[in-house]
Amino acid sequence: MIYQQLGEDILAHLGGPEKYVMCRRAIGSTNRALGYHGFIALLVLARREEIRANRFLLHESKTSALARGKNLGMTVAQNKGGVGLAFRYYDTTFALLACHLSSDLKGRSSLKRRNQDAWRLTYETNLWREDYLLDFHHQRHVCLFLGI
């Protein structure tokens, strides 16, 4: 099951779009031609009553996704990287960053690459509408870095 259908199923189980609003960010592909497929995704569900009462506000972002996969010449594969999503709930701001980073391969450590990618994700993911020279973990009260 791909992430779009999973989100729709969860939304339906909770009462549908009449009760909840679904906020999601994702990078990836179902294309298997290059051997890479799947998604790095975030899904947040907010009650409509919380939105109407101005207790929940999704923050629009300038750069909410960053691909860090294999260089394919004209583009970078989206099998590695991360996606971010920011919101305010009551008086607290949250930043979520889901990632999938390089793994060790055939006994060779990718720790240096993972650390570089993690730094680039926190530095280059801008969860504001405007450009701020702040890493994402300095932009919000609560930050969750999710993934492997």
Higher pLDDT, 117 or 73: 117
Contacts of residue 74, defined as CB under 8 A and 6 or more positions apart, other chains included, come to none
Helices (H), the chain: 3-13, 48-52, 111-124
Report percent pLDDT > 70 for the chain. 71
Q: Considering only CA atoms, which of 83, 88, 51 is closest in space to residue 65?
A: 83
Q: CA-CA distance, 17 to 40, in Å (whole number)?
A: 23
Whether 124 and 118 have beta carbons less than 8 Å apart is answered as no
Q: CA-CA distance, 120 to 112, in Å (whole number)?
A: 12
Which domains does the chain carry? Answer: 3-147 (3.60.10.10)
**Phi and psi at residue 59, in whole multiples of 5°?**
-90, 125
Q: What is the pLDDT of residues 112-125, one digit of tens each?
A: 888 888 888 877 77
Q: Considering only CA atoms, which of 134, 117, 129 is closest in space to residue 77?
A: 117
Distances (CA, A) of 40 to 30, 57, 60, 81, 125: 12, 23, 19, 8, 14
Mean pLDDT in residue range 29-44: 74
Per-residue burial over 21-45, b = 16 or more CB atoms within 10 Å of its CB, e = otherwise: eebebbbbeeeeeeebeebbbbbbe
Q: How high is the pLDDT of residue 55?
A: 96
Predicted TM-score (pTM) of this structure: 0.77
